[in-house]
Amino acid sequence: MKLRDTVTIALKAVTGNRARSLLTMLGIIIGVGAVVLMTSVGESMQSVILGQISALGPKTVAIWPGKNGPEQGAATLNPDFDSITMNDIEALRRLKTISYVTPVIFMPGKVKYGTEESDVTVSGTTPDSYINQPIIATEGRLHDEQDELNGRQVAVLGPDTARDLFGNSSPIGKRIDIGNQKFTVIGVLEAKGSQFFQNMDERILVPFETARVSSQRSYVDMVGTMATGDTADAINDIQFLLRRRHHIIPPTTGIATDNDDFLVRSAEQAQEILGTVSTSLTAFITMIATVSLVVGGIGIMNIMLVAVTERTREIGLRKALGANRNDILLQFLIEAIVLTLLGGIIGLLLGLGMNALVVGIASKFLERYIFAVNFIAMAAALLMAAGTGLAFGIYPARKAAELNPIEALRYE
Amino acid sequence: MTKKESAPLIETKNLHKSYFNEQVETPVLFDINLRIDAGEFVAIMGPSGSGKSTLMHILGFLDVPTSGHYHFKGESTEEKTEDELARIRSSSVSFVFQSFNLLPRTSVIDNVTLPLLYHSGTHPSQRREKAMKAIKAVGLTDRATYLSNQLSGGQQQRVAIARALVTEPGVIFADEPTGNLDSAAGKHVMEILQNLHEEGHTIILVTHEKTTAEHAARIIRIMDGRIVADDRTFERRIASQVKELK
C-alpha cells in the first residue's frame, strides 16, 4: 500500500466526523496556539526593548548613586544618594575610555504655567546628553554651551508636557515656574514615545549648571556617558576610579559590588539580561507546551482507541481483502498524526490570528510594537504535535494491527 | 509437493481444527481431505455449527489448521507467516460475505477499489479502470458514484462481488451470499456467480440452504466437522432459468 493511499484514508476518516475530530484536536490546538502566541509576543517585546536599547546606543553607560540603581525620588530609601559628587564628575571626564560625561540633577518642585500645574520630572543636564541620546527640537532650540556657562533659566519641554501646559498655542518665549523660580521656554523636543516604559515626551530639560546652582547641591542623581571602545573596559575604569575616590575596598572575586555606593550599567548588559530573561521565558513556554501536548496526546489516544473499536469490522474486512499488519498499523498511526498535525496547523493559525489581535492593541500603547513571529518555535510546535500523534497513536494502531480478521469481521 | 501445472488448486490432507478456550479443546473439523480444481463451482453445505465456515476461513487463509496439510496451487501453506498469508489473500483469494461488509458512506467505486490498495500487482493508475470493469461485470456501471448506503441489499451484494472480482483472484469464497437478500435479489446474485463460473472463475459457495447449494456443480456436505458427502449436483439449478417465485 502506498503512503499516499494511507494519508487519503486518514484524511477521509478525520473529515468524516468533523465535530469529533475538532474536539479531539482541541488540546493540540490550544497547546500549539498558546506556544505560537506566547513566543510571538515574546519576540515582539524583545524587538521593542532591543529597539530601545539600540536607539539608546549600545555603548551607553549609566552611573547611579547607591547599590540598587535608579530609584528616582527615593533619596530617603537610598542612603548613598549623595555619593557621586561634582569632583567625581570632573575625574570621570578625565577617563580615556569614556566620553560625553553628562551629569543629571532632578529638580524638585511643581511646574506651573498660569493655572496649569504638572508633576513632570525636571532634569538638569549638559548639552552632551543630546549627543548621548540624539534628539532634536521641533520648535525653538535645545539649550547649548552658552546657556550652560551662564546658568541661564531656560527650559526645553517634551511635546506632551508642552501640550499639557500650553494646549495648542506655542510655548516658545513663555515663562513657567519650576519650584519658586522662573524659566523661559526655548524649545520643544521631537516626540520619542516610550522607552523602558517611561514616557520620553513628558519631561523638562534645563541646563545642568542652572539646576545645580538652584538646588545648591554638590552631588548628582545620575551620570550618562558613552564608552569610546569596549564597554567592559569603560565599566572597569569607572568602578576603579570611583572606588578609589570613595575609599571602597574593591571586591576580590567575581563581579560582586557589595561595598560599592554606586552602580554602573551598560546598554550591552541590559541586552544580556534580556537574553537571560527570554531564555527562561522560552523554557517556561516549552514546559506549558509539553504539558498541553501530553494532555492533548492522551485525548488523541483515547479517541483512536474508540475509533479502533468502532471500526473493528472495517479492520477485519481490510485484512480479509489482503491488508497486512503494517498496512493497518500505518493507517491508524497516520490518522493520529494527521489529527495532531491538522490540530497543530489550526492552532498555529489561531495563535497567529490572536497575535495579530494583540499587535493591533499593543501597538496603540507601545511604539515600535510590531508583528513578529518565532519561526523556530512554530516549526518546533508543529513537529511536537506530530510527534505527539506518533507517540500516542502507536498503542491504538498496534491494537488494530493485531486484531484477528475472523473475530473482527464477526464483531457487532 | 512441487509446484506443477497439473496440481489441484486446493488440496487438503487430514486437516484438523480445534479451538482452545482456557485449555479446553473444542474440535471443529476432523480429518478433512479435499481436492478442488481450478474452474470448479463447489458448494460447501451444512447446518450451522457444522464447521463449514471454519473450513472456508482455513481455505481462504483467514485462519490456520491445527494439524494436517493444506496445499494451495501445489504449494504448502503450513509455514507461512501472518504477512505471507495476507499477501496470498491479497493476490489469490477473495470473499463475498453474507452481510456485504461494504465501507459505509463510501462510493461504489471506492469500495471496489479497496482490495487494489493492498494489491502489489496493480499500479495506482490502473485502479479505476479495473474497478469499472468489475462494476460493469455485475451490471452497476450507472451506480458507480453512488454511496454504498444508497443501494438496495441486492445491489450492495453485487458491489461486494465486484470487489471480489477486481484483483482477478484464483478463487472467490462466497459465505451465504444470499442469506440477507430477498429471493429476487438472491436469484440475481446466484445468476452472477454462475456467469462468473461460466467465464472460468473458481467459486466456493458456503451455505446451509439446499436450494442455494444446488446452483453449484458440486456439493460437499459437512456434518459435525466431517465431510459426509461429496457429489456432483444431481439436479443443478440455473438461476437465469428459474422463474421468480413472486
Q: Is there a contact between B62 and A324 if contact means CB atoms under 8 Å apart?
A: no
Closest CA to A318 of A300, A303, A306, A330: A330
Q: Return the minimum-mean-pLDDT range out of A125-134, A195-204, A237-246, A342-351.
A: A195-204
Q: Which residues of B are less than 8 Å from A318 in CB distance?
A: 114, 118
Q: Which residues of A are less than 8 Å from B97 in CB distance?
A: 409
Query: For residue A40, what pLDDT is reported?
Result: 85
Q: Is there a contact between B83 and A314 if contact means CB atoms under 8 Å apart?
A: no
Q: Is there a contact between A318 and B118 if contact means CB atoms under 8 Å apart?
A: yes
Instruction: Give the domain extent around A140.
Output: 60-228
In a domain, A159, yes or no: yes
What string of H, E and C letters represents the secondary structure of B173-220? EEECCCCCCCHHHHHHHHHHHHHHHHCCCEEEEEECCHHHHCCCCEEE
In a domain, A344, yes or no: yes
Q: Is there a contact between B63 and A406 if contact means CB atoms under 8 Å apart?
A: yes
Same domain, yes or no, for A329 and A201? no
Total domains, chain A: 2
Q: Which residues of A are less than 8 Å from B120 in CB distance?
A: none
For the segment B169-194, the average pLDDT, to the nearest whole number, is: 93
**pLDDT higher at B144 or A117:** B144
For the segment B110-119, the average pLDDT, to the nearest whole number, is: 93
Q: Residue B20 and residue B22: Cα distance in Å, rounded?
A: 6
Neighbours of B174 (CB within 10 A): 28
Q: Residue A265 and residue A231: Cα distance in Å, rounded?
A: 10
Inter-chain contacts counted by CB atoms under 8 A, chains A and B? 59
In a domain, A66, yes or no: yes
Q: Which residues of A are less than 8 Å from B21 in CB distance?
A: none
Chain B: closest CA distance from residue A324 (Å) = 5
Closest CA to B57 of A405, A160, A203: A405
Same domain, yes or no, for A148 and A72? yes
Same domain, yes or no, for A91 and A213? yes
Q: Which residues of A are less than 8 Å from B60 in CB distance?
A: 320
Closest CA to A405 of A281, A295, A312: A312
Strands A262-266 and A181-189: unpaired
Q: Which whole-number Å values give the CA distances from B158 to A74, A289, A298, B140, in the listed order?
A: 92, 52, 42, 8
Q: Which CATH number fits domain B39-64+88-233: 3.40.50.300, 3.40.630.30, 3.90.550.10, 3.40.50.1860?
A: 3.40.50.300
Q: Is there a contact between B118 and A409 if contact means CB atoms under 8 Å apart?
A: no
Check whether B3 has a pLDDT greater than 50.
Answer: no
Q: Residue A196 and residue A397: Cα distance in Å, rounded?
A: 54
- Considering only the beta carbons, identify the residue of A5, A327, A405 that sits closest to B62: A405
Q: Is there a contact between A321 and B103 if contact means CB atoms under 8 Å apart?
A: no
Same domain, yes or no, for A304 and A199? no
Query: For residue A269, what pLDDT is reported?
Result: 80
Check whether A187 has a pLDDT greater than 80.
Answer: yes
- Considering only the beta carbons, identify the residue of B94, B97, B118 that sits closest to A323: B118
In a domain, A260, yes or no: no
Q: Residue A198 and residue A393: Cα distance in Å, rounded?
A: 51
C-alpha cell at A225: 556617558
Residue B111: strand, helix, or coil: helix
- Considering only the beta carbons, identify the residue of B89, B101, B117 that sits closest to A1: B117
DSSP state at residue A373: -
Q: What are phi and psi of A30, to 5 degrees?
A: -65, -45
- Considering only the beta carbons, identify the residue of B82, B83, B89 that sits closest to A320: B89
Check whether B244 has a pLDDT greater than 70.
Answer: no
In a domain, A122, yes or no: yes
Same domain, yes or no, for A43 and A159? no
Same domain, yes or no, for A34 and A152? no
Final residue in a domain of this structure, among A228, A249, A281: A228
Chain A: closest CA distance from residue B94 (Å) = 7
Same domain, yes or no, for A369 and A396? yes
Q: Which of the four pLDDT bands, split at 50, 70 and 90, describes residue A68? A: low
Interface residues on B facing A, Cβ-Cβ cutoff 8 A: 57, 60, 62-63, 82-83, 86-87, 89-91, 94-95, 97, 101, 103, 105, 114-115, 117-119, 124, 163, 167
Q: Residue A58 and residue A227: Cα distance in Å, rounded?
A: 9
Same domain, yes or no, for A204 and A341? no
Q: Which residues of B are less than 8 Å from A325 in CB distance?
A: 82-83, 86
Q: Residue A67 and residue B174: Cα distance in Å, rounded?
A: 92
In a domain, A243, yes or no: no
| Digit-coded pLDDT (tens) for B10-56 | 999 999 999 988 889 999 999 999 999 999 999 999 998 899 999 99
Q: Which residues of B are less than 8 Å from A322 in CB distance?
A: 86-87, 89-91, 115, 118-119, 167
| Digit-coded pLDDT (tens) for A315-362 | 999 999 999 999 999 999 999 999 999 999 999 999 999 999 988 888
Query: For residue B217, what pLDDT is reported?
Result: 94
Same domain, yes or no, for A7 and A99? no
In a domain, A204, yes or no: yes
Q: Is residue A297 within 8 Å of A285, Cβ to Cβ?
A: no
Same domain, yes or no, for A320 and A276? yes
Final residue in a domain of this structure, among A212, A228, A244: A228
How does the average pLDDT of chain A come out, rounded? 85
In a domain, A251, yes or no: no
Same domain, yes or no, for A214 and A69? yes
Query: For residue B216, what pLDDT is reported?
Result: 94
Select the residue from B28, B63, B114, B166 to test the A interface by mutation, using most A Cβ atoms within 10 A.
Answer: B114
Give the contacts of A48 (CB within 8 A, at least 6 positions apart): A366, A367, A368, A369
Select the residue from B28, B62, B81, B161 to test the A interface by mutation, using most A Cβ atoms within 10 A.
Answer: B62
Q: Which residues of A are less than 8 Å from B119 in CB distance?
A: 322
Query: For residue B36, what pLDDT is reported?
Result: 95
ipTM: 0.91
Same domain, yes or no, for A28 and A133? no
Q: Which of the four pLDDT bands, split at 50, 70 and 90, describes residue A121? A: confident
Q: Is residue A29 within 8 Å of A23, Cβ to Cβ?
A: no
